[in-house]
């Protein structure tokens, strides 16, 4: 693969598009985490309040307790907590499968986000627009196991769109103060534009 030299990285055009798209992905992932955490907090505070009117001492205390339990929860912890709650709700199997599939997709995107955050990014080809590669050569212990992950910028755009769709779906549940919806509510278009295969993995040459 004829790659670009890091010293010749573009400072405009392609590079700006990359930065904007990666930044958008990180923003949307944060919104998803916030939505899941808020969903859990609302669910717990609503249950603890037991129908108490908003603004009452019991209602205020329930909000504080929920914030103490779920306030700083990240994606994986929130996902696993929601799964445990679904386990005790005796959901329709088809509906449960739909919710699980969204979490699986978000897990793929989390792996992409982590790679973007912790690996180096370089232009992949001088003559191909918006094609980049991730390299873990600087962070791996054994050079022989290091590899490239080549991707087109559109892969990040697809992942960002999936995050937006998932945030919308779970945000609808948050408004209803429910952990999951009745099956009909998940009949909307599902997140699924991003595919892990959009990152083409190849090993470094020795």
Q: Kindly state the average pLDDT of the residues 174-189.
A: 49
**What's the chain's length in residues?**
206
Over residues 89-111, the pLDDT tens digits come to: 777 777 778 788 889 999 999 99
Residue 206 pLDDT greater than 50, yes or no: no
Angstrom CA distances, 25 to 31, 140, 147, 179, stand at 10, 25, 23, 25
Dist CA 175 CA 135 (whole Å): 41
Provide the 8-state DSSP code for 117. H
pLDDT at 204: 54
Angstrom CA distances, 20 to 33, 77, 180, stand at 20, 28, 33
Over residues 130-176, the pLDDT tens digits come to: 999 998 887 776 777 777 889 999 999 999 999 999 998 887 765 55
112 pLDDT tier (thresholds 50, 70, 90):
very high
Indicate the average pLDDT of the chain. Answer: 79
Q: Kindly state the average pLDDT of the residues 182-200.
A: 68
183 pLDDT tier (thresholds 50, 70, 90):
very low
Residue 27 contacts by C-beta under 8 Å, 6 or more apart in sequence?
none
CA angle, 142 as apex, 140 and 143 as ends, to 5°? 85
Q: Give the highest mean pLDDT range of 58-62, 111-115, 185-189.
A: 111-115
Residue 64 pLDDT greater than 70, yes or no: yes
The DSSP bridge partners found for residue 149 are 134, 201
pLDDT at 60: 73
Q: In this structure, what are the phi and psi dihedrals at residue 187, rounded to the nearest 5 degrees?
A: -85, -5
Helix (H) or strand (E) holding 48: helix 14-49
pTM (predicted TM-score): 0.78
pLDDT at 174: 56
Q: Kindly state the average pLDDT of the residues 25-54.
A: 82
């Amino acid at each position: 693969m004829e790659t670009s030299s890091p010293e010749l990285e573009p400072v405009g055009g392609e590079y700006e598009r990359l930065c904007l798209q990666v930044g958008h992905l990180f923003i949307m992932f944060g919104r998803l985490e916030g939505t899941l955490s808020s969903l859990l907090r609302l669910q717990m505070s609503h249950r603890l309040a037991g129908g108490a009117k908003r603004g009452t001492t019991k209602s205020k205390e329930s909000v504080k307790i929920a914030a103490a339990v779920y306030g700083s929860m990240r994606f994986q912890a929130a996902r696993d907590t929601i799964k445990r709650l679904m386990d005790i709700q005796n959901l329709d199997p088809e509906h449960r499968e739909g919710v699980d599939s969204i979490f699986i997709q978000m897990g793929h995107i989390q792996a992409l986000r982590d790679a973007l955050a912790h690996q180096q990014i370089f232009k992949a080809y001088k003559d191909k627009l918006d094609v980049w590669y991730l390299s873990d050569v600087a962070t791996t212990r054994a050079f022989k196991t290091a590899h490239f992950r080549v991707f087109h910028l559109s892969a990040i755009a697809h992942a960002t769109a999936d995050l937006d769709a998932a945030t919308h779906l779970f945000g609808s549940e948050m408004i209803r103060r429910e952990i999951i919806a009745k099956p009909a509510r998940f009949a909307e278009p599902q997140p699924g534009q991003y595919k892990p295969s959009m990152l083409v993995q190849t090993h470094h040459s020795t």
